[in-house]
Amino acid sequence: MFKKLILSTAILGNCFFAYAETEKQSSSASTQRCDDFTNVTLRKLRSKESINLCQFKDKPLLIVNTASNCGFTSQFEGLEAVYQKYQAQGLVVLGFPSDDFFQEEDDEKETAKVCYVNYGVTFPMFAPTEVRGSDANPIFKYLNEQTSSPNWNFYKYVVSADRSSVERFNSRTKPDSEKLTNAIEQAISKI
């Protein structure tokens, strides 16, 4: 009987410790905050789900304003290849569809089809949004202040993991270009 009591107490103690550790991890994950421009919650493309970009804290970002009906739309393929190549090293690619240049679908369902079906995009894409002017979403307001507004679709911004630097690349810069690749690899090397 005494052995059973000791065994039960040990098991109960281990269960309590495991529960307390789980609660501690859960609590710290839910309260994880960042104090930079990525502390914003945005809705994902064709989804009711939103994500706070703080979850990408301490990771370099490649942020792109996209459009479904642009001459540069085929760059989705290259952006996905970049994501697949560097994701394990910490790079996060974020896509922001925008109709600021009148080349985005009117129906979000069609935008999602272009991204997910036509080009097989797996990196986070957000609901269509403004990327220029006073109505720009908070992410692009910050990028625009640091560099300047995109002049067209598929402008690319490489943001360092510590958020101290932003490099801007125009639409003609292909995702696999040497210039963009160097910027991405440099950002990754500083993690």
Q: What local confidence, expressed as pLDDT, does residue 11 receive?
A: 44
In a domain, 61, yes or no: yes
Q: Annotated active-site positions, please?
A: 70
Q: What local confidence, expressed as pLDDT, does residue 14 receive?
A: 44
Q: Are residues 72 and 105 in the same domain?
A: yes
Q: What local confidence, expressed as pLDDT, does residue 19 receive?
A: 39
Q: What local confidence, expressed as pLDDT, does residue 32 receive?
A: 59
Q: Are residues 4 and 70 in the same domain?
A: no
Q: Are residues 2 and 24 in the same domain?
A: yes
Q: What local confidence, expressed as pLDDT, does residue 33 receive?
A: 79
Containing domain of residue 59, as a range? 41-189
Q: Are residues 88 and 150 in the same domain?
A: yes
| Total number of domains constituting the chain | 2
In a domain, 181, yes or no: yes
Instruction: Report the CATH number at residue 155.
Output: 3.40.30.10
Q: Are residues 26 and 46 in the same domain?
A: no
pTM comes to 0.83
Q: Are residues 22 and 89 in the same domain?
A: no
Q: Which residues, 6 or more positions from 85, have their beta carbon under 8 angstroms from its beta carbon?
A: none
Taking the C-alpha atoms of residue 175 and residue 79, their distance in angstroms, rounded to an integer, is 6
In the predicted model, residues of the chain with pLDDT beneath 50 are 2, 5-31
Q: Are residues 153 and 64 in the same domain?
A: yes
In a domain, 171, yes or no: yes
Q: Are residues 97 and 170 in the same domain?
A: yes
Residues 67 and 98 sit within 8 Å (Cβ to Cβ): yes
Residues 124 and 92 sit within 8 Å (Cβ to Cβ): yes
In a domain, 178, yes or no: yes
